[in-house]
Structure 1
Amino acid sequence: MTDLLQQDATAQAEAIATGKVSPSELLEAAVARADALNPSLNFIAQDLRDMARARAHLPFSGPFAGVPFLVKDLHMPIAGQRSGEGSRLFDGHVATENAVLYDRYCAAGLNTFGKTTTPEFGLTVTTESKAYGLTRNPWNPAHSSGGSSGGAAVAVSAGVVAMAHASDGGGSIRCPASACGLFGLKPSRGRMPAGPHATEGWMGFSLNHAVTRSVRDSAALLDATHGMEPGSRYTAPPPGAGFLAATRSAPGRLRIALQREAITGVPVHPDVLAALDAAARLLESLGHTVEEAAPALPAEAMGEAFVAIIAAHVAHDVRTRLAELGRDSAGEDIELVTQMFAHIGNTTPASAIAGANQLFQQVAITVSQFMSGHDILLSPVFAQPPIELGRIDLSPSDIESWTGNVLGYSPFTALANQTGCPAMSLPLGTSRTGLPIGIMAMGRYGEEALLFSLAAQIEQAAPWAGRRPPLP
């Protein structure tokens, strides 16, 4: 059973389908491993094992029939269950209906037995919160697991589940995938549902999908869950033959732009650059053309616009929750950085939000023009290997230092959110201290199939399935 837990979800589904193991047996193995590791790593925000045990005795269908699963405790309501959003402000909040995506996970056969940790409202690229505590990297517990889907990445990296739901508004799938040595793909804007009461998050910046061990799991899960939902303003282009099918075909000879410098100008760690250069050499050995290039973008204006849009949504979410509670103030029930975002959101004029939205349309046009001459933009995920816990949590002693630390750590990933382009983290590098380093590949809007094709080619050429953190 331990060996089966280490395999990907496709293999686990096959074992269930052929009668080698039952859904209940595999669920109990996953629960037992979670119980053994959660006290030291802290990745479970809510235990749903009883719900999963009841479901394990019912018939399953779908590509992942009976496979154990975890969802992130952020914008993923399950009727009758607590929705904590990583925040003490949401203590006692119980959902009255399911997320559209959760229903799609159930239709795909997945059996959810818990919710994973996240920072408050997903506002930082580490998973540390007053509500849940510190989520620790299984490769080195003193270091961050990434965020905001850090709990999901820890569960997969530690061998509890083969894949887990994650979401990404500025890098929150790719960042924890990078920190924990996993594959993580953020889909194109409009690809995934966000309902039941919204059809997009953060004005289209935020998308749902998953962190996985294998490329084929990510592709098959996207096949099973993507598509319009009622009320959608737009949808991403259809994937043709499908995402899993794309993993079975070669990507052809690609033109790859290599971005070694952050648009903000922050320094990139030598270990990260070494991993990036090694990835470029690997791609050249596979027949692709790699040249150093990057789009020219207004980094400072983009940063200010990004904060304005996120802050507006934070202010709205806090105000809505306070109205539900009949309160005028969140007080200490939200963290210092969240308070800062809420203040910015409440004091930024509406015209500035319109200007921010217009700026990102211009940025998307610039990037689209750049990508007309390149199939892939290759860069690091983080500018540094996984940092120590406590450096960018949401209740810092100095907000100014916090801002600088975040910008110095994660200057690459937000561009894909701001433009709506798909992007993936590939577990290709390792620091001199043994920590994972992810390499990011961003594609043109709507072209996840090309990313999956390339990822499968890389996975075969430089397999990562055997890499495991030093855990029992």
Structure 2
Amino acid sequence: MHAFCDDSLGEHDAVGLAGAIRRGEVSAAEAARDATARLRAVAELNAVEVPLDPPALGGARGGVFAGVPTLVKDNTDYAGLPTGHGSAAFTPRPARRHAPFVRQLLSTGVTVLGKTRLPEFGFSPSTEYEDAAPVRNPWHTGHSAGGSSGGAAALVAAGAVPLAHANDGGGSIRIPAACCGLVGLKPTRGRVAGNDQSRHLPIDLVTDGVVTRTVRDSAAFLAAAERHLRSPKLPPVGLVEGPSGRRLRVGFLHDSPAGVPCDDDTRAAVTATADALRGLGHRVEPVGMDLDPRFTEDFLTYWGMLSFLLGATGRTLGEGFDRHRMDGLSRGLREEYVKRWRDTPGVVRRLKRAREGYAAAFRGLDLVLTPVLAHPAPALGHLAPTVPYATLVERILAYVAYTPIDNVVGTPSLSLPSPHATAAGLPVGVLLSGRPGSERTLLEAAFALEAERPLRRIQDV
């Protein structure tokens, strides 16, 4: 299911559409009108939470994306709109002001059309609910669009908007990008404006960004965001416009550091990407990653702590909050945490030490190549919050086995679609991860791979 048609948006990516608007070939109002029509055309994807009518035109007239339509994820405050966090446990109030990242996003000049759906509090890697319709994958509507930025990814992949806001606390930019055949860059911790939900916690897991259909859109966004706010603690990225001539040393692995194996389609995609990098002149070799064997359990306990805190403070989010109405995954995480809350200091200490094993794996390397997920997007229902908690967690851990380490360590990583697809036509993503502050290297490598192996387009299928 897609919305590509012969209107003002055409087949433009965000950079292309912004250029057409600057040249006067189309207007920002026309782009907003046609994007709104496209959103209606793919309404069966169930990806929009709150439409904004009329759209918020004119973020920053001189911005790199001036007039480009987009949407904000519904766990982030946009003034005047409610922030529901994907939860039925409360009635959200309209936000009084924009979140810091929304101000950064608006500085690029985008037109906001509304807010996208996410699973409850962003905990699940699939955007599904107990009592509401799931977000559907436009490549195969019987499958998951990923999570937690599933609404954003579904709409970008379907061509409703060229890019959309996403954020990532355990893979939530990169997972839906992989499920929907998109580019998803999780920046280094501190690269963009801090996320209100996590920046005061012992480990700040969450980083904001966008999902896009092209590498150049992700690169242009990061450069524009940096012009609005640049971290003095990180090397500047600047505008990356293509591959570099530098030859890289790349490590790769198929199975996760925790020993979770990937399926045959995913293994083939990673192997083909490693071969493509070799063909581009890079040195590519297998690598191991020596993480504490308790890493997965510790990350799950930390995730449970977040659910516990939300259950304790949820009344600040809106009216009538009832933690007993949180969904099965949220409740299960909270209940398991209550059993082991005394372990919290040790969990935090071990997670912070994960940077040592991660740094050791990068010794002598520029990038590490892995799968994004252990298998492509599952059928809807496989990861629904109605699945018994123990079974659901077992399925999640057998699926999301690669992305959380970058959140714990704070390093950047980028999900890139493979040109390969499953027999059902589902996308398969590969993950490039780098050292802190190495977004330029990631983007240059992604540009090279994109040029070598053009990305699949849903409108051509």
Range of TM-score over shorter length: over 0.9
- 2:390 matches 1:400: yes
| 3-state SS of 2:92 partner | coil
- Cα drift, residue 100 of structure 1: 0.8
Any idea what the Cα deviations from partners look like across 1:410-464, whole Å, max 9, x if unmatched? 2111111121111111111311221100011111111111101111111111111
- Cα drift, residue 121 of structure 1: 0.4
- Cα drift, residue 261 of structure 1: 1.3
- Cα drift, residue 254 of structure 1: 1.0
1:282 corresponds to which of 268, 276, 289: 276
- 2:164 matches 1:159: no
1:252 corresponds to which of 221, 242, 246: 246
| 3-state SS of 1:203 partner | coil
- Cα drift, residue 114 of structure 1: 1.2
Matches within 5 A, 1:16-165: 16-38=21-43, 40-52=44-56, 55=57, 60-74=61-75, 76-130=76-130, 132-165=132-165
- Amino acid paired to 2:458: R
Matches within 5 A, 1:352-367: 352-367=343-358
Partner residue in 2 for 1:263: 257
Residues 92, 319 of structure 2: 8 Å contact kept: no
Partner residue in 1 for 2:451: 460
Residues 254, 289 of structure 1: 8 Å contact kept: yes
Residues 49, 74 of structure 2: 8 Å contact kept: yes
- Amino acid paired to 1:376: L
Residues 202, 310 of structure 1: 8 Å contact kept: no
**Larger proportion of helix:** 1
- Amino acid paired to 1:35: R
Partner residue in 1 for 2:310: 317
Any idea what the Cα deviations from partners look like across 1:212-264, whole Å, max 9, x if unmatched? 011111111112224898xx9x8751325x1x2x3335151111111011223
Any idea what the Cα deviations from partners look like across 1:101-124, whole Å, max 9, x if unmatched? 111222210111011110000111
Residues 5, 160 of structure 1: 8 Å contact kept: no
Structure 1 residues 17 and 458, CA gap change in structure 2 (3 angstroms)? same
CA distance in 2, matches of 1:423, 1:324: 31
Residues 178, 437 of structure 1: 8 Å contact kept: yes
Partner residue in 2 for 1:438: 429
CA distance in 2, matches of 1:107, 1:328: 34
TM-score, normalised to structure 1, is 0.91
1:419 corresponds to which of 409, 413, 419: 409
| 3-state SS of 1:133 partner | coil
Over the matched positions of the two proteins, sequence identity in percent amounts to: 34
Structure 1 residues 161 and 373, CA gap change in structure 2 (3 angstroms)? same
CA distance in 1, matches of 2:371, 2:150: 18
Partner residue in 1 for 2:3: none
Residues 260, 398 of structure 2: 8 Å contact kept: yes
Structure 1 residues 325 and 27, CA gap change in structure 2 (3 angstroms)? closer
Structure 1 residues 328 and 62, CA gap change in structure 2 (3 angstroms)? closer
- Amino acid paired to 2:213: R
CA distance in 2, matches of 1:82, 1:342: 25
Structure 1 residues 235 and 348, CA gap change in structure 2 (3 angstroms)? farther
CA distance in 1, matches of 2:17, 2:201: 32
Gaps of 5+ in 1: none
CA distance in 1, matches of 2:96, 2:110: 21
TM-score, normalised to structure 2, is 0.93
CA distance in 1, matches of 2:316, 2:116: 27
2:380 corresponds to which of 361, 380, 389: 389
- Amino acid paired to 1:138: P
- Amino acid paired to 2:51: D
Matches within 5 A, 1:290-305: 290-299=284-293, 301-305=294-298
| 3-state SS of 2:398 partner | helix
CA distance in 2, matches of 1:101, 1:49: 22
CA distance in 2, matches of 1:201, 1:387: 32
| Structural RMSD (CA) | 2.3
Structure 1 residues 380 and 26, CA gap change in structure 2 (3 angstroms)? same
CA distance in 1, matches of 2:459, 2:338: 43
CA distance in 2, matches of 1:190, 1:304: 26
| 3-state SS of 1:88 partner | coil
Residues 5, 161 of structure 1: 8 Å contact kept: no
Any idea what the Cα deviations from partners look like across 1:343-402, whole Å, max 9, x if unmatched? 34445435x322222212221012112212211111111111211001112221x21111
- Amino acid paired to 1:313: L
CA distance in 1, matches of 2:80, 2:397: 38
CA distance in 1, matches of 2:202, 2:135: 25
| 3-state SS of 2:155 partner | helix
Structure 1 residues 235 and 431, CA gap change in structure 2 (3 angstroms)? farther
Residues 108, 224 of structure 1: 8 Å contact kept: yes
CA distance in 2, matches of 1:69, 1:201: 29
Across the two proteins, how many residue pairs are aligned to each other?
A: 455
- 2:331 matches 1:339: yes
Residues 13, 66 of structure 1: 8 Å contact kept: yes
Structure 1 residues 434 and 325, CA gap change in structure 2 (3 angstroms)? closer
Residues 227, 235 of structure 1: 8 Å contact kept: no
Gaps of 5+ in 2: 1-5
